[in-house]
Chains A and B, each alone.
Chain A
Amino acid sequence: MTLNVLIVDDSPVMRSFVKRVLKMSGLETGLLLEAGDGKQALAVMQEHPMDLVLTDINMPEMNGEQLLRTLQADAVLRKTPVVVVSTDARLDRVDQMMSLGASGYVTKPFTPEGLRHEVERVLGVAHV
């Protein structure tokens, strides 16, 4: 299974790192696109159907919470699984993001194996 993944983070170096880790993880990736905030993410998703979105929470313009709310309000885009990738490890924050429609949550720092495990769990694909 080849995955088209959208990486949403206001930090360009973190986007590059997540892209690198995805490649290292052994997951078969196709398009790896980037967005600097929720608004950019929505624009990308209108143009390119994604298999997965990895998003930070704290971002300018439209943050991760607002992105999740907007995706859930869209009959088509809500089907795309979203994994939150954040330093914020507060349990109420994790619960909030999952309640808003996130399918998974990864806390930084994370290993390539940890990210892969969560992506595979969310997508329901077998661990190789």
Chain B
Amino acid sequence: MSKTGAEVYSKPAVVGVVIEASVERVLETMCFSAVMGPAEMELAQASLGIGARVDFQGPTQGAVLIGCSPAGAQTLTRNFLGTEDITDLQVLQFVSELANMICGAVVSTFGAPGQYDLGSPDPVASTALVATNGTRVDFELEEGFLSVVAYQA
């Protein structure tokens, strides 16, 4: 018998794998960037400066939060826009878009295509990632760090 998205979603190890695959896919296709590897949570958390959160509803509901170090966010924004000349506002806008795309990629893995409704991305302080109970994966980027937390309400 196949498991539902909600059943699978309760397994942190599975969620972690899904987060990894989702982040790699989004960074490769939209940012022309690669994940260098896993990062130590304490090291990543200490460098985080910009964050965003996207709520989702569907067979299960919750949220995906991301945090980025300033260097990581700037590099990804440059790759996303294809220019070295970026502004702080563009970096903030990009982090929100990144949260939106990662959340979409994560939840689409847990159910039949298109079962989930995503909310609008909201900026959050990077400390929100620590305060959120859920499955967390930290990534080392070409420059800086990216952390992702997915939790079920």
Contacts and interface: CB of A to CB of B under 8 A. Distances in A.
Q: Which of A14, A94, A108, A109 gathers most chain B CB within 10 Å?
A: A109
Interface residues of A, number: 21
A67 B94 CA distance: 25
Q: Which 9 A-B pairs have the closest CB atoms?
A: A90-B114, A87-B104, A91-B114, A109-B29, A13-B93, A89-B114, A109-B30, A20-B82, A109-B26
A13 B82 contact: no
Interface string B47-87: 00000000000000000000000000000010011100000
A4 interface: no
The bracket for how many chain B residues form the interface is 20 to 34
Interface in A74-99: 87-94
A14 B30 CA distance: 10
B132 interface: no
A11 B29 CA distance: 18
B101 A17 contact: no
Nearest to B22: A109
A93 B81 contact: no
Given A11-B93, A108-B30, A88 B118 contact: yes
A13 B108 contact: no
A66 interface: no
A16 B81 contact: yes
A110 B26 CA distance: 8
Nearest to B91: A13
A12 B93 contact: yes
A11 B114 contact: no
Contacts of A17: 30, 80-81
B100 interface: yes
Contacts of B30: 17, 108-110
A40 interface: no
